[in-house]
């Protein structure tokens, strides 16, 4: 393949934001190239969404194996986990999808330029040999990769993603203090772990390692685990985690980490000033991520950034004409589906597709694949009240749902929040089995600005977990049937 030098659209970064944007751009008839320095599919496919879900699936099956008796089944001998094989499966899932992106680029006639891109002037980038060492040689840059050179495009979209944030003095060292990279490929099963931070990434790893048998302590600065979630949902999830044997310390911070040859001691300071020393094999630092805005030439071109992210409008446009940003590098929520959607909006606006709507961040769902799962969209009860809205709240417990009981998953809650005056659904929050699949029903409803009346008129199949969604709506209006 011979690369061109001039394109309509060049996208820097091939994560879910970048590669989806490239496909849409090509579909719209724009001559498109994507630049990638490390691995097609970005963090999501290689080190984020996908490999964690593969690990969590192994943990889930391990859990069911251990509880086979509850389902009337006997497993001869002891079910045990081979962490190397678990990791290998997870890496295999990643590799398969990584190859799939290569195929999609070819199919859509998107040129892949390999190397590290930097904006040199408006409408121009320079690509140099990548300076970044890959974490593992599994999804390598192809042997026939082409890239180094100067390329021009009318529109340049930054989709460079994000990387782990580090706290001063507790910087990850790859050996005793892990980021999500090392936590994804443990060479052996740690017996004990401290997880610093209880956002989605921290809690998913805490859940994985606890289910696999490690002693896990989670330290969270704020009063609730998964602090962005509705407080009631967080509390139910926390209770379940603690029942599984996880130790959770909230309103506390790790102030110092002492390292020994093969263990760490974390100094955990609670809000009353007491310090507890916790010794564990490893510490996972999960205190958030920061945008990859460095070495892109942004300062020289005057592209505005704020707190480590590029500043954009609802269509991904920066303050400099012809330069756009989407996905993690353009700020929270740092989620793959936000990145994809933002990219599609951005390139459709570039192509003047009629009726393109700006990004509506309040309708982006969030899912955490811990056990039990957590999923939400829209306003929490606290946020709705803070905003001065009069609301109606509906709740339905998993314990009253036939399918949940049949599945042996009777712990959880579906909570819905409506605007009292208009009946509009403004928030939905769930904890329990499969809620990450259920939430999309409420996302569609919110997108269509659905009211309680339309939801009550909707027929939900029986027996399903989704029936709880309707029951929760009915409960908000004093009409619940099965509770
Ligand atoms: C452990 C973990 C679990 C997660 N789970 C989920 C989940 O379940 N659901 C969810 O929605 N989100 C999840 N996320 C978040 C998700 O991975 C990100 O939101 C998503 O990857 C962002 O996509 P992106 O396209 O903006 O950037 P990225 O996926 O980060 O991709 C950016 C790409 O740009 C490349 N790049 C950067 N700079 C340059 C340069 N100068 N030149 C060339 N290439 C460059 C990088 O190599 C990378 O491939 C998870 C993240 C982690 C870490």
Ligand 1 centroid vs 160 CA: distance in angstroms?
A: 8
If we measure between CA atoms, which residue out of 363, 223, 371, 197 comes closest to residue 289?
197
Question: Which residues, other chains included, contact 404 with Cβ-Cβ below 8 Å and sequence gap of 6+?
Answer: 398, 410, 412, 432, 433, 465, 468
Q: If you take atom 19 of ligand 1, which residue's CA is the nearest one?
A: 335
Any atom of ligand 1 within 6 Å of the Cβ of 396: no
Q: What is the predicted pLDDT for the residue at 136? A: 62
Ligand 1 atom showing the smallest separation from residue 53 Cα: 8
Any atom of ligand 1 within 6 Å of the Cβ of 202: no
Q: What is the pLDDT of residues 111-136, one digit of tens each?
A: 999 999 999 999 999 999 887 666 66
Q: If you take atom 3 of ligand 1, which residue's CA is the nearest one?
A: 48
Residue count of the chain, please give it: 483
Any atom of ligand 1 within 6 Å of the Cβ of 16: yes
Ligand 1 centroid vs 13 CA: distance in angstroms?
A: 9
Q: What is the predicted pLDDT for the residue at 174? A: 94
Buried-exposed string 17-38: b where 16+ CB fall within 10 A, e elsewhere = bbbbbbbbbbebebbbbbbbbb
Which segments of 167-300 are extended strands (E)?
A: 177-178, 192-196, 215-219, 247-249, 252-259, 264-270, 275-280, 282-285, 289-291
**Radius of gyration of the chain, Cα coordinates, nearest whole angstrom:** 24
Tens-binned pLDDT, residue by residue, of the chain (483 aa):
678 889 999 999 999 999 999 999 999 999 999 999 999 999 999 999 999 999 999 999 999 999 999 999 999 988 999 999 999 999 999 999 988 999 999 999 999 999 999 999 999 999 998 876 666 655 667 677 788 999 999 999 999 999 999 999 999 999 999 999 999 999 999 999 999 999 999 999 999 999 999 999 999 999 999 999 999 999 999 999 999 999 999 999 999 999 999 999 999 999 999 999 999 999 999 999 999 999 999 999 999 999 999 999 999 999 999 999 999 999 999 999 999 999 999 999 999 999 999 999 999 999 999 999 999 999 999 999 999 999 999 999 999 999 999 999 999 999 999 999 999 999 999 999 999 999 999 999 999 999 999 999 999 999 999 999 999 999 999 999 999
Any atom of ligand 1 within 6 Å of the Cβ of 365: no
Ligand 1 atom showing the smallest separation from residue 366 Cα: 11
Q: What is the predicted pLDDT for the residue at 140? A: 66
Q: What is the predicted pLDDT for the residue at 77? A: 87
Any atom of ligand 1 within 6 Å of the Cβ of 159: yes
Ligand 1 atom showing the smallest separation from residue 326 Cα: 26
Question: Which residues, other chains included, contact 35 with Cβ-Cβ below 8 Å and sequence gap of 6+?
Answer: 10, 11, 12, 13, 14, 112, 113, 114, 115, 116, 117, 125, 127, 147, 151
Q: What is the pLDDT of residues 218-254, one digit of tens each?
A: 999 999 999 999 999 999 999 999 999 999 999 999 9
Q: What is the predicted pLDDT for the residue at 2? A: 73
Question: Which residues, other chains included, contact 95 with Cβ-Cβ below 8 Å and sequence gap of 6+?
Answer: 138, 139
> Is 429 an annotated catalytic residue?
no
DSSP 17-35: HHHHHHHHHHHTT--EEEE
Any atom of ligand 1 within 6 Å of the Cβ of 147: no
Buried-exposed string 376-405: b where 16+ CB fall within 10 A, e elsewhere = bbbbbbebbeeeebebbbbbbbbebbebbe
C-alpha to C-alpha distance for 169 and 162, rounded to whole angstroms: 21
Ligand 1 centroid vs 48 CA: distance in angstroms?
A: 7
Cβ burial, residue 10 (10 Å; 0-12/13-18/19+): buried
């Amino acid at each position: 393949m011979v690369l061109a030098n001039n394109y309509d659209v060049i996208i820097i970064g091939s994560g879910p934001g970048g590669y989806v944007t490239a496909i849409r751009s090509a579909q719209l008839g724009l001559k498109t190239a994507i630049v990638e320095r490390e691995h097609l599919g970005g963090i999501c496919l290689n080190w984020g969404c996908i490999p964690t879900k593969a690990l969590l699936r192994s943990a889930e099956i391990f859990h069911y194996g251990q509880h086979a008796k509850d389902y009337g089944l006997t497993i001869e001998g002891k079910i045990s986990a081979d962490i190397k094989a678990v990791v290998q499966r997870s890496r295999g899932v990643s590799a398969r999808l990584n190859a799939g992106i290569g195929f999609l680029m070819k199919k859509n006639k998107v040129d892949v330029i390999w190397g590290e891109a930097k904006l040199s002037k408006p409408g121009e980038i320079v690509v140099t040999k990548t300076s970044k060492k890959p974490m593992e040689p599994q999804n390598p840059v192809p042997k026939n990769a082409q890239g180094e050179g100067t390329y021009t495009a009318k529109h340049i979209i930054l989709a460079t993603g994000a990387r782990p944030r580090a706290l001063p003095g507790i910087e990850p060292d790859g050996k005793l203090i892990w980021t999500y990279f090392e936590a994804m490929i443990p060479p052996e099963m740690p017996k004990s772990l401290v997880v610093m931070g209880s956002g989605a990434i921290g809690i998913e790893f805490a859940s994985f390692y606890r289910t696999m048998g490690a002693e896990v302590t989670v330290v969270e600065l704020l009063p609730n685990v998964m602090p962005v979630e509705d407080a009631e949902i967080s509390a139910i999830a926390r209770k379940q985690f603690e029942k599984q044997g996880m130790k959770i310390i909230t309103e506390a911070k790790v102030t110092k980490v002492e390292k020994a040859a093969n263990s760490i001691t974390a100094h955990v300071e609670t809000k009353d000033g007491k310090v507890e020393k916790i010794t564990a094999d490893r510490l996972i630092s999960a205190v958030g991520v920061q945008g990859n805005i460095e070495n892109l030439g942004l300062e020289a071109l005057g592209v505005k950034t704020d707190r480590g992210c590029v500043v954009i409008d609802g269509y991904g446009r920066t303050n400099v004409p012809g330069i756009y940003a989407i996905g993690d590098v353009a700020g929270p929520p740092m989620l793959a589906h936000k990145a994809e959607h933002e990219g599609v909006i951005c390139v459709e606006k570039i192509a003047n597709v009629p009726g393109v709507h700006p990004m509506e961040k309040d309708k982006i769902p969030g899912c955490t694949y811990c056990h039990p799962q957590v999923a939400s969209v829209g306003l929490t009860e606290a946020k709705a009240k803070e905003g001065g809205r009069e609301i109606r709240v509906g709740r339905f417990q998993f314990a009253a749902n036939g399918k949940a009981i049949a599945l042996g998953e009777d712990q959880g809650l579906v909570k819905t929040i409506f605007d009292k005056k208009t009946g509009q659904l403004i928030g939905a929050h769930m904890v329990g089995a499969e809620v990450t699949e259920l939430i999309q029903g409420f996302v569609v409803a919110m997108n269509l600005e659905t009211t309680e009346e339309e939801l009550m008129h909707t027929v939900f199949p029986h027996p399903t977990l989704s029936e709880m969604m309707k029951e929760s709506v009915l409960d908000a209006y004093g009409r619940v049937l099965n509770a």
